Structure 1
């Protein structure tokens, strides 16, 4: 045996072990971790929210939630699974989460919109957790996203988007700007063409 202490190559088992050791359930403090980049192990999140490993769907929701707890999107736009010891790529087709349910409290500027994701994250839209709208392809429709944590977003499902459209109001009487209020903050649905 030599004195070489090179870390073993990253893999699913190593990530699982590190995630389990990361503490209580829920999101881990991944923004504080700065491990070395260890490459691509074949982890991906499809547009429909399905997580895959080397092309095969991960069927256990508990396992997916564990991986989601160590997910981070960096300023370079890339998404990673991050533990204190390693960082590996995750290919994300659209957004890592789906907003599958919305609750509405109050009305007008005092209205509060709260979303639940497909992985049971719950987030109330406010200045720190904004709602944004992006054009979707050639049809010019809109895709709404809500910031869940860090730079990670949830794409609203069609049903949730329909609920948002029902809540849309003019910003002011006679205004061409349409959008929704949440937690005293205005989120416009009117995009420049």
Structure 2
């Protein structure tokens, strides 16, 4: 079955995004507890590009497939998890890059470099890191993994935050400051 990316984010309502997110069938990596562990020889660069043994993974379908198997444990280590094996993967910054954002009603929706859609809220918080001069904004994706907002997405979100007195945004009843904690 050929892959069909979701429509452009600006064309979707929050309800349509929620339906697309619910319909996406992701592997149940949180249920798998493989004892066999190893190294994937893979790396996700800070700019979102994937590498295996030093060569860039150029096929978007492969990146999407690998990304669906990602999780991050409590120590911050990222893993590719399969039913019988768990392989470490080096992640320079965040596993995903948020490439677009849209506010619709009481929700903020992010599109990722893998075409995943994420609705920010209590289960997918937005957090500010860095310092006030060089902030970095992240949104939780799934299984402990995060997406870092690229420059244009950060600018879009900052414009929304400027509407509030405290440089914050809200989504699905949760409030998120875009000012890094000192």
- Report if the CA contact (8 A) 2:129-2:135 is conserved: yes
What corresponds to 2:149 in structure 1? 156
* Bigger Rg, which one: 1
Shift of 1:31: 0.8
> Quick check: 150-159 or 28-37, which moved more?
28-37
1:94 match: secondary structure: coil
TM alignment of 1:43-58, pairs within 5 A:
43-58=42-57
Provide the aligned length of Structure 1 versus Structure 2: 160
Partner secondary structure for residue 62 of structure 2: helix
Q: Report matched runs for 1:14-163 at 5 Å.
A: 26-106=25-105, 111-135=106-130, 140-163=133-156
Q: RMSD of aligned C-alpha atoms?
A: 1.9
User: Hey, which bits of structure 1, 4+ residues long, moved more than 6 A?
Assistant: none
Q: What TM-score, normalized by structure 2, do the two folds share?
A: 0.81
> SS in structure 1 opposite 2:135?
strand
What is the SS of the residue equivalent to 1:191?
Answer: coil
> What SS does structure 2 have at the residue aligned with 1:161?
helix
Alpha-carbon deviations, 1:125-162, whole Å to 9, x = none? 111110001016xx832111011112011000100000
What is the deviation of 1:92? 0.1
Task: Using the TM superposition, give the Cα deviation of residue 183 of structure 1 relative to its aligned residue in structure 2, in angstroms.
Answer: 1.4
Instruction: Tell me, in whole angstroms, the C-alpha distance in 1 between the residues paired with 2:103 and 2:127.
Output: 17
CA distance in 1, matches of 2:54, 2:24: 26
> Unpaired runs of 5+ in structure 2?
1-22
Greater RCO, 1 or 2 (C-alpha within 8 Å, sep 6+): 2
Separation (CA, whole Å) in 2 of partners of 1:36 and 1:42: 19
**Runs (5+) with no aligned partner, structure 1:** 1-23
